[in-house]
A and B are shown apart, each in its own frame.
Chain A
């Protein structure tokens, strides 16, 4: 939502609009990235994604992201996919800090018992190296 007046603080940064990419935060499609393709009424939106049947969702189930794509109201699936490719939604999401956090969470949840052990060893080693460097710097500072 662009406003022409100067020194005007936008009340919101992310708006519900056609083309807004959102993350589903409740229900069967939990964790899926979807695009709002139409607004049904005050509470619900028509929502679509490349690997999903177009369906309605309550706004309460959606968490809006910063990403927005350029589409018309209720585009065909192919048009939607092309628009998502053009806006490079996947890469933008995976490089955003929110997207990266989710990827790390998924990786951590899938860790094996052996993996957790290896990570523990790696953390101890890393801590040891940091402490060595710190000791060196302290020594240099003291002298």
Chain B
């Protein structure tokens, strides 16, 4: 029989376990009489498919484990990025709450596939580069910046991966020599990326009065401010 694709039963349930139509009625409804008629009064028979001989397809494994190896359970879960808070949209000014840039007000660009938020200072304004930030360590303000003309398509989590340093073989001589300190220099392409993202942003920021000094300043709780009563 051809496989059914999303076809509901032709026999609706009166109650669970009891169908509306009898066996003979269902025989008629399913058109088995027509299939038989097409095949000359007999139900069509298909020959059994020749069983694929295992010997021809699989090779003998060259290693049999001594004990039975347990197969891991099937896991079909797919990773979804964290649900973005409704208050966070492109161009929202966020306040960073932890880390090196604690208190800085930054502009939100987009959410990366890992769930982290891509933000930028902009760098020239407050020193925060293109950076990933966790949604939980952020306060979303209701101030928005116009993101028109900023292209963030190329940024994803791989862009921010740490570069794996080549392992150098330790020779005896190197123990006695003074350790050469290698400074980590930011590659030029990253500096250029920062500039391409920031220039249209800075233009739209300078269009709003007092927004540039606002982004340059850090946020701090002052005396009398109650965070649960503040409107951000």
Contact = CB atoms under 8 A, between A and B. Distances in A.
Nearest to A117: B214
B142 interface: yes
A114 B143 contact: yes
Interface in B71-126: 93, 95
Contacts of A118: 210, 214
Interface residues of A, number: 9
A114 B93 contact: yes
A113 to B, nearest CB: 5
Contacts of A113: 93, 95, 141-143, 219, 230-232
Nearest to A122: B210
A49 to B, nearest CB: 26
A117 B232 contact: no
Contacts of B211: 114
B47 interface: no
B108 to A, nearest CB: 14
A128 to B, nearest CB: 15
A112 B231 CA distance: 6
B208 to A, nearest CB: 9
Interface string A100-129: 000000000111111001100100000000
B213 A112 contact: no
B43 to A, nearest CB: 75
Contacts of B210: 114, 117-118, 121
B229 interface: yes
B34 interface: no
B232 A112 contact: yes
Contact of B142 (A112, A117, A121): A112
Residue among A109, A112, A113, A117 with most chain B CB within 10 A:
A113
A114 B217 contact: no
Contact of B143 (A109, A110, A112, A121): A112
Interface of B: 93, 95, 141-143, 210-211, 213-214, 217, 219, 229-232
8 contacts: A111-B231, A112-B143, A112-B231, A113-B143, A113-B231, A114-B93, A114-B210, A114-B211
Closest CB pairs A-B (n = 8): A114-B143, A113-B141, A117-B214, A113-B232, A118-B210, A112-B142, A114-B214, A110-B231
Given A111-B231, A113-B142, A114-B143, 20 more contacts: A109-B229, A110-B231, A112-B141, A112-B143, A112-B231, A112-B232, A113-B93, A113-B95, A113-B141, A113-B219, A113-B231, A114-B93, A114-B141, A114-B142, A114-B210, A114-B211, A117-B210, A117-B217, A118-B210, A118-B214
